[in-house]
Structure 1
């Protein structure tokens, strides 16, 4: 099983890649929400950057949960000032919604709690 990151943020991708290694997982980085659905079969945890242009978090979460035979955990993040996006992710059913700062500072412990 692996962790999939939907993001175009190279700094966060690098941070999460290191955190994934420390919890004995691999990280697959995907830049578009269309490509994410193809990765669900081997994915246990999906980390979603809510700043992806055109992202419909409600639709994405519904599709992920429907296509995941063993149940996928979805972690969503955005800058803390993007309160509407964070609220939409909670409403969509994400398992954890955090600020970008939280995921940057606590990536390893967040991932560990979902594995």
Structure 2
């Protein structure tokens, strides 16, 4: 019997608590999280065909919308999260083509279900 392919999540996340939790949850689902720190690194790693990209809207850098467009062209879902009060960032992420945009609180509470949706 062949082992299931490991599902990779690329995460541009600067919050250590979130990145640790994402990594722990993904590993329980047979996934592997690769943390990236720049748009360039995200684009470079698109060729590993990740199952999901997670963007912390407080950590994105100018040019991130183009990265979302490249991910979408490659058929890679993008999940973005940020402070609920930053309506402008949420709207920008939706306009850029992110599949889901959630507030930090929903991200924290619903992370197992969000990951399951993309890693199952």
Counterpart contact for 2:81–2:102, Cα < 8 Å = yes
The answer for the alignment partner of 2:86 in structure 1 is 82
Counterpart contact for 1:7–1:49, Cα < 8 Å = yes
Q: TM-score, normalised by structure 1?
A: 0.89
Q: TM-score, normalised by structure 2?
A: 0.85
The answer for the alignment partner of 1:51 in structure 2 is 58
The answer for the alignment partner of 2:102 in structure 1 is 98
* Residues 1:38 and 2:48 are matched in the alignment: no
Give the Cα–Cα distance (whole angstroms) in 1 for the partners of residues 33 and 85 of structure 2: 27
- How big is the shift at 1:9? 1.2
Residues 58-110 of structure 1, C-alpha deviations (whole Å, 9 max, x = no match) = 212112223x2xx1010001111111000110111111111111111111110
- How big is the shift at 1:53? 5.0
Counterpart contact for 1:73–1:94, Cα < 8 Å = yes
Give the Cα–Cα distance (whole angstroms) in 2 for the partners of residues 112 and 47 of structure 1: 13
Cα distance change of structure 1 residues 10 and 55 upon mapping to structure 2, 3 Å threshold: farther
Which ranges of structure 1 fall in alignment gaps of 5 or more residues? none
Cα distance change of structure 1 residues 53 and 90 upon mapping to structure 2, 3 Å threshold: closer
Counterpart contact for 1:20–1:27, Cα < 8 Å = yes
Count of aligned pairs: 112
For the pair shown, which has the larger CA radius of gyration, 1 or 2? 2
Which ranges of structure 2 fall in alignment gaps of 5 or more residues? 1-6
